[in-house]
Amino acid sequence: MPGQLVANPYETAPLITSVPQSTGWQPAPLLPYGAMAMAPQVAPRARVDNVAAWMLVGAPILWILASIVALQSGVSNTTLGMGLLLALVNTLLALWDIANVRRAGIAISTGMWITVFLFVPAYLIQRTLRSKQTWWIPALWVVVWIVSLAATPVISYLGGVEYDAQYVEEEIEADLAELYELPGAEVTCPDAAIAPVGSFFSCDVVYSDGSTETVNVDVLDWTGGWNWRI
């Protein structure tokens, strides 16, 4: 009708871009057309130096080599000192590895070296979980440990078999008394009664009449089988 305003049906309502401050809500800033919101950049984690960890993996092999050298030198590899030496080496490697992990920006407790002293795989598993490193390290430790157990015959052939000297002495004395009717004989074997498979070590015999003799103890196999001969 003439003189009457008619609303334009195509006119859109004004766009609300803000709300009263009392609501506490603020609109997100408008980005230019085609722009994309980017997530904040995170600095990449530094690469962890795994040298000490791999040396821990190889520790059982090093122990085999050390045992062979010790036995060849006539040194017992079952003494407390040898066990403490292995524990010391593992502990030093663990402390070195913990320092490497920390340098990579990963939080790790220095006290974790205690797990190495008790059980090396426990440390390697904790290390892997915290540093997100490869699981090959703890897995290969288990493999190397099994191989080291299977290498016992190698130690016996290359290094030697170690015997309890007192046990060997008592057995020879009993044989002399029962088989040779020589009671009262005293047998003295080396404190470290060690010899490779196929070889022998010697013991001294003092008979009741004061005469002396030397007997040889032959090492028959890697399991510790032996016999003695005059």
- Which residues are CB-neighbours of 112 under 8 A, at least 6 positions away? 94, 98, 123, 126, 127
Range of the domain at 129: 51-158
Section 82-90 average pLDDT:
79
pLDDT of residue 46: 57
State the Cα–Cα distance between residues 26 and 161, nearest whole angstrom.
82
| Segment among 30-44, 91-105, 144-158, 164-178 with least mean pLDDT | 30-44
Position 188 in a domain: yes
What global pTM score does this model have?
0.61
Q: Are residues 77 and 153 in the same domain?
A: yes
Q: Structurally, how many domains does the chain consist of?
A: 2
Position 111 in a domain: yes
Among residues 129, 158, 187, the one where a domain terminates is 158
58 CB-side CA count, 13 A: 10
Q: Is the pLDDT of residue 33 over 80?
A: no
CA angle 138, 157, 79 (to 5 degrees): 65
pLDDT of residue 1: 47
What confidence tens digit (pLDDT) does each residue in 124-178 have? 888 888 888 889 999 999 999 898 888 888 888 988 899 999 999 999 999 999 9
Q: Are residues 55 and 121 in the same domain?
A: yes
Instruction: Let me know if 146 is exposed, middle or buried by CB neighbors in 10 A (0-12, 13-18, 19+).
Output: exposed
Among residues 102, 125, 158, the one where a domain terminates is 158
Which residue shows structure tokens 């044989």?
175
pLDDT of residue 28: 53
Read off the pLDDT band of 80 (50, 70, 90): low
Position 195 in a domain: yes
Read off the pLDDT band of 74 (50, 70, 90): confident
Read off the pLDDT band of 43 (50, 70, 90): very low
Q: Is the pLDDT of residue 180 over 70?
A: yes
Quote the distance between the C-alpha of residue 84 and its chain's center.
Answer: 14
Position 60 in a domain: yes
Section 213-228 average pLDDT:
93
